[in-house]
Amino acid sequence: MSNRKIAKCKGSQGNWLVDVTIDGRTVSLPTAHALFVRVGLDGRLFYDRPVFWTQSERRATQWKKFRAALLKHKRVVITEDDWSTDENGVGKAVRKGYIAIYEVTNIIATNVHGLVFELTNRVAEAYAVSEVP
């Protein structure tokens, strides 16, 4: 039997924050797509998504909330997604589920540089509320 904790996650498509319950405590954490997780030459995990976040007012508002939660909690929920492109060639993700909760460090979160951080400690396995074993 694994000692790893289980996190119950409740989110919705299009919402960049997910309500996560670990050990009876619930907090809203930002999501991060597994597609952008990279392994460095030294074996460390990094997230690297070069995106301009203020393309629309809705996205700018989401970005502010996301960035505030990331800097406050220094944790993310890694998501599994199906990817496609819209009529303009812009990538679109449909969330399939949650993989894990990670602590993060070395956060760069700006409209100029996109989103970069190091994933350090895998805190818990993540499941949608309806999927918790």
What integer pLDDT is reported at residue 83 of this predicted model? 87
Task: Report the pLDDT value the prediction gives residue 117, as an integer from 0 to 100.
Answer: 95
Determine contact, residues 18/31, Cβ cutoff 8 Å: yes
Do 93 and 82 meet the contact criterion of CB atoms below 8 Å apart? Answer: yes
Structure tokens at 63: 């970005």
Look at 48-57, 76-85, 98-107 and tell me which has the smallest mean pLDDT: 48-57
56, two tokens: 């629309």
pTM for this prediction: 0.86
Residue 111 φ then ψ, to 5°:
-70, -25
List helix spans (H) across 3-77: 57-73
Instruction: Tell me the pLDDT tens digit for each residue of 59-97.
Output: 778 888 999 999 999 999 999 999 888 787 777 788 999
Residue 79 has φ and ψ, to the nearest 5°, of -110, 150
With a pLDDT cut of 70, the percent of the chain lying above it is 87
Confidence band of 42 (pLDDT split at 50, 70, 90) = very high
Q: Note the pLDDT of residue 97.
A: 92
